[in-house]
Amino acid sequence: MQDETACLDHDQLGSLYAQLGAVGAEDVVRRTMEELALRLTHAERQYRSCEFDALRKSAASLIAIAEQIGMQKVSMVAEDVAISVDQGDEVALAATLSRLLRVGEGSLTAMWDLQDFTV
């Protein structure tokens, strides 16, 4: 298994905190992280079920969700997944989806560590 370094945009998070205050921003971050985790799970299931149109929609939604909380790498890799679906490239799709799951998991972990959330 390859290791992906998580990359969080601290400026994006800072802007979110400046706009919403600490309590509001933490609420948005928590809800967004939950949605991101859910959609990553859905994307994996859709791939395994060969639901490529649904997978394309999940990837597109992941782009916006990830950007909202400064997960630019997740957004970029989700875009690669969408492109792979559009091109019908099964090998690229398998590779980019695997990478998306790794990057997504690593980014969620980094965000939890950064926010010092408790499970």
Domain ranges of the chain: 10-113
Residue 88: pLDDT over 50: yes
- pLDDT tens per residue, range 9-44: 778 878 888 888 888 888 888 899 999 999 999 999
Domain 10-113 classified CATH 3.30.450?
A: no
User: Percent of the chain scored above 70 by pLDDT?
Assistant: 90
* Band of residue 118 on the pLDDT scale cut at 50, 70, 90: very low
Cα–Cα dist 96/99, whole Å: 5
What's the mean pLDDT when you consider all of the chain?
A: 88
80: closest CA among 64, 68, 63?
63
Tell me if the pTM is above 0.75: yes
CA-to-CA dists, residue 25 to 18, 31, 65, 100, angstroms? 8, 10, 14, 25
Residue 7: pLDDT over 70: no
- pLDDT tens per residue, range 46-87: 999 999 999 999 999 999 999 888 899 999 999 999 999 999
Residue 113: pLDDT over 90: no
Residue 117: pLDDT over 50: no
Cα–Cα dist 28/56, whole Å: 25
